[in-house]
Structure 1
Amino acid sequence: MNENFDPLLSSVQNDKVKQWASLLDKKNRDRNGQFLIEGVHLVLEALRGNADVKTIVYDSDRGIPAELKLERETNDSAATLGLEWVQASRPVMAKCTGTDTPPPVFAVLSKLSVDQSAIFRKNGLVVVLDAVRDPGNAGTIIRSADAVGADAVILGKGCVDLYNPKTVRSTMGSVFHLPIIEADLKELLLQAKSKGIKLVGTSLQAEHTCYSFDWTQATWLLMGSESEGLSPAVRELMDETVIIPMKGQAESLNVAMAATVLLYESLRQRDYSGKK
């Protein structure tokens, strides 16, 4: 395939360009069932994760980045079949990514399809976010959940949109590695409890530290909003609370740091207990 034959879009008034740029707004992402990713790393992760990539758009002045050119020439998976490649002017790249310094490439994807059965696996570990509104925190938690091998992440109502470009960017590709479900928490939490899954959150009044809790059992880790913690409705359903001990003078950890500490204690107990 020769990139010289890829169509070139140079005008920001082009209908296709306007449609892509509209995906920067949540209402248009919801309406079209599509979202944008930007940068070589995320596009590679999407292709390798077999996401439904519709179009890859690259800067006409810079050409296709070397890693993506190699992927184009060697990857014959379902992810690359029928894929549209387009070259675009720098103003078009800027309009569609909402940045003053546009990336060398962006892609248009269908929203992810998710297998919800993953959340009820035997001895599973699931992270549940309740009104976590900061895209950096939500993305980092998804990345940490991926790193420790968690089964899924659930985003309750009031959370930042999963497909917000900043959220996707913060996941560093982990958005393509594990199921991420947007759902009504109350219904799912009641289902989990009926299956014997422990619902665990953090509390300054907790009797146990995160190191004395048994993370080897089926567990859903509940993390609340940056400013208010868990909502009362979610807090009522918790089975157990834990506290992260702190020796220094820091008042607290932010939600992404706290979730990461708890997830790694779970990993230690599940996979590294007693190992040197």
Structure 2
Amino acid sequence: MLFVTSKDNSNIKKAIKLKSSAKERRKSGLFLAEGLRICMDAVRSGAEIQTLYVTEKAYQKHSEDFAVLEAAAQNTVCVSENIFALMSDTQSPQGFLAVIKTLDKTNEFDTIKCDGKYLALDNVQDPSNLGTVLRSAEAFNVSGVILSSDCCDIYNPKVVRGSMGAVFRIPFITYNSIEEFIKDNPKAYYYAAVVNSDAESLTDVKFQTPCVVVVGNEGNGIKAETEKACANKITIHMEGKAESLNASVAAAILMWEMMK
């Protein structure tokens, strides 16, 4: 284990960049996972841990878990609480942070499974929403998640943490646009979730497989071209005065009904 005491160390600077910059994550092919549970999830899922950062207090308190993480990591670095805080994205850091190689799940989307049920996200921007959606998708056993390229970065630390490890386990793919994905996979049934009283009520929908339910941006909903490309329009009937639901809440309701 290497001990680093300077915040100007090149590895520390790189980790700080990975925390704040999607461009740096794409360029390097690396991302951060913070917290003991998330780091352990990464190991159990077979993710490639390039560097494990720990504080002395953390590895002494969780010595057994630390031994597992250290064995899985290519490098282990011990830093002070102050330096760890610079890399951390949380208010109360646990003292465990892993630099992980980005996940290649492309092969899992070579073809749409004939009985598959998928969720597509069209320009979803909030990292907390995306993390919650991934967590729900795993809980409901959704076949996979398709993201448009203008969604927030799936490797954003808030997404990784909010997914509670689902990002390591659920199949996902990023496509230039959901409209393009539909054109490239024409045999599936596509359902656009819209706020429209003329759309079919979700509770009346008989989902045919393979199917993809599309959820749109938090403020603007699904893009017009995406909605047009979907043969089916569905809506969550609401009796209250709210005009719409939070994107992650809507996605959870849609996935629940789709997977019944």
TM over 0.5: yes
- Residue 103 (str. 1) matches residue 94 (str. 2): yes
Partner residue, 1:18: 13
Partner residue, 2:82: 91
Helix, strand or coil for the counterpart of 2:209?
coil
Helix, strand or coil for the counterpart of 1:211?
helix
Deviations 1:244-268 (A, max 9, x none): 1223333321111011001111222
The total of aligned residue pairs comes to: 256
The separation in 1 between residues aligned to 2:226 and 2:71, in whole angstroms, is 42
Deviations 1:19-60 (A, max 9, x none): 111112112111111011100111011111111111211112
Partner residue, 1:213: 205
Question: Which of 178, 181, 188 does residue 181 from structure 2 map onto?
Answer: 188
Letter in 1 for 2:18: L
- Residue 198 (str. 1) matches residue 172 (str. 2): no
Helix, strand or coil for the counterpart of 1:62?
helix
Partner residue, 1:50: 46
Deviations 1:189-215 (A, max 9, x none): 11222xx21110122134421121122
The separation in 1 between residues aligned to 2:208 and 2:60, in whole angstroms, is 46
8 Å CA contact retained: 1:116, 1:179:
no
Relative to structure 1, the CA distance from residue 227 to residue 70 in structure 2 (aligned partners, 3 Å threshold; closer, same or farther) is: closer
Question: Which of 34, 37, 45 does residue 38 from structure 1 map onto?
Answer: 34
Relative to structure 1, the CA distance from residue 64 to residue 191 in structure 2 (aligned partners, 3 Å threshold; closer, same or farther) is: farther
8 Å CA contact retained: 1:61, 1:89:
no
Pairing of 1:88-237 with structure 2 (within 5 A):
88-99=79-90, 101-118=92-109, 120-185=112-177, 186-193=179-186, 196-203=187-194, 204-237=196-229
Helix, strand or coil for the counterpart of 1:13?
coil
Unmatched 5+ residue regions in structure 1?
Answer: 1-5, 269-276
The separation in 1 between residues aligned to 2:140 and 2:52, in whole angstroms, is 30
What's the RMSD between the two structures over aligned residues?
Answer: 2.0
Deviations 1:218-272 (A, max 9, x none): 111111101111111211101101111223333321111011001111222xxxx
TM-score by length of 1: 0.86
8 Å CA contact retained: 1:57, 1:105:
yes
The separation in 2 between residues aligned to 1:103 and 1:82, in whole angstroms, is 18
The separation in 2 between residues aligned to 1:217 and 1:231, in whole angstroms, is 23
The separation in 2 between residues aligned to 1:128 and 1:72, in whole angstroms, is 38
The separation in 1 between residues aligned to 2:44 and 2:244, in whole angstroms, is 38
Identity score, percent: 27
